[in-house]
Amino acid sequence: MIEKNIKKYIKKNLGKRNVYIETGFKNGDSLRSALQFSFDKLYTIEFYQKYFDEEINFLTSYSKRVIPITGDSGLQLDKLLKEISIKKELSACVYLDAHGHNSKISPLINELNALKNNNRKNDLIIIDDFFFIENALNNRNRAPWATEIIDAGWDVNKIYNLLREINGKDAIIEKIPYYPGPLYKTIFNRYSPFSVDGKNYHLCSRCKD
């Protein structure tokens, strides 16, 4: 589900972004939230077809705007971005949430590489539950997908550097918010700054308002 503070940020920074793309449909809560905005098209990518089948009535009722895509989001996102580029559709709001808390498989890095490889410099990118990655070293069992990312050689700084390659030099502070999931209000103040290229940033420096 897209939380209230994230909706506020999207509304404020939506601009001319007329496409919504999410990875991880499950019960459709995030998509329902996104439908409140004026997106012309909403793409939802889900690995498990059963989740689409369970919400078929909901999906059918919005069939003119919502396009469900079944498959690995790391691969399907790359394919979709290529199609969008060909159609010359405007920039997108991309909500990455295909990582399950109890799953050891996370497509996140492949999703980010898809954005990089397709030159998506103007997209608004939001990663759900990003704080799990920062905490994975201290609590390996809390979110196996985050631990998998750390074990593969990725950390917060390396992911941010990849994001800077996608969105440009100022993407970290000026364009991309990272909200720490449903526990946002209770744990926000417990985060310590981290460093990128010698400069310190707070994980949620853009979502205090």
Cα Rg of the chain, angstroms: 16
State whether residue 45 is helix, strand or coil.
strand
pLDDT in tens, 145-165: 889 999 999 887 788 788 778
Tens of pLDDT, residues 100-138: 756 777 899 999 999 999 988 888 888 887 778 877 878
List CB contacts of 70: < 8 A, sequence separation 6 or more.
Answer: 45, 46, 47, 48, 49, 52, 76
Architecture of domain 4-201 in this structure: 3-Layer(aba) Sandwich (3.40)
Average confidence (pLDDT) over 65-92: 88
